[in-house]
Structure 1
Amino acid sequence: MSTLRKSLAIALLPISMSFASIASAADYVIDTKDAHAFIQFKIKHLGYSWLLGRFNDFEGTFSYDDKKPTESKVNVTIKTASVDSNHAERDKHLRSEDFLNVSKYPTATFNSKKITENGNGTAKLIGVLTLHGVTKEITIDVNKIGEGKDPWGSYRAGFEGTTKFALKDFNIKDVGPTSQEVEMYLSIEGVRKP
């Protein structure tokens, strides 16, 4: 190999390595079609019990490489009118101007900014949540459930996460001193894109 070719190969090596690292991260579509993903919440009711609910209509994607988990990215969009607390009248109230005001704010979004590993198989996913017209940074505690091939020839990866935040941070009124924070539980399974 000539000196010129050797020099060119050495010069292009970092670029090729960079493209290889980009290509190694896989892109996934969150599997809401077959109901293998859930966004659930709970909030105290008068301090006596927990009110549980979920959002039935959402979509999203994430990228993930198990060798470089800190480079992962997540994007989710939730239809706020799909709130479901297993009680029609209460859900109607939750959709009203008193709470989610879904006619004015039909979607909520989450977009990740960075991930930091805890060193014990868990991580903190930091991103911005836009809800009720307000955008704020939140942190989600993440645990990887697993990844691998499914029986239908696709490849899947799954995670769970928890977070909590004050309703007032998003200009949503609470219903008393014991009902000011909402806790979220996320179970996300994604199908890798071809």
Structure 2
Amino acid sequence: MKRVIKEFFLQHDIIIMFGIMLAFFIVLQEKLFTGTALLSLLVGIIFYTLNEYVTHRFLFHLKPPKNPILLKLLKRLHYDHHVYPDDLRLLFLPIWYSLPLFAIWLYALYLFTGSITIVLSFGIGMIGMFLMYEWKHYIAHRPIRPITRFGRWLKKQHILHHYKNENYWFGVSNPFYDFLFGTYKEGKDVKLSETARNLEKEKNNTSTF
């Protein structure tokens, strides 16, 4: 288990995001334990879980674009991960994608609220859930048996997404939105997809982008 934790936390993307979250903690200190801050933290967690589902389903599984730059981007962000699901180099979201995206969200929230406390608290919740997502994703693709029954079940759902049908089981950190939006199915009720391991050929057509 020590080897697993070491391998995960030595990823430079994880180090950077964890460092940012820690910096937010240091700046807030006791302000984090006010009602406004705690509520903002909770909203940040919820926001990230929804974003995780929406991004995975509608962006990462976008039909292959004709634009070669966009295609290359999607290949790095997700398509190649389906081809090589256990490749550690493709397992984590690249920092050049996640960091600017988080910065945009936090800046937009600051423009809306004008409160550093709300922004940093929201950021802690969002980044904390992002790190949980990365951990769950890491566990799903490594030869590791999760400790809890729920963890083992969650890993199984993600494996089904990769090896049985890419149109279901989009939740990685949690299955809530799969149940809510109808993309959760029992494995036995879903047909084997020919494109689960090759999203570039999905639906045999391309986006006009």
Task: Please confirm whether the aligned pair reaches a TM-score higher than 0.5, indicating the same fold.
Answer: no
Q: Greater helix share, 1 or 2? A: 2
* TM-score, structure 2 as length reference: 0.29
From the two aligned structures, give the one with the greater strand fraction.
1
Work out which structure has the larger RCO, using CA pairs closer than 8 Å and 6 or more positions apart in sequence.
2
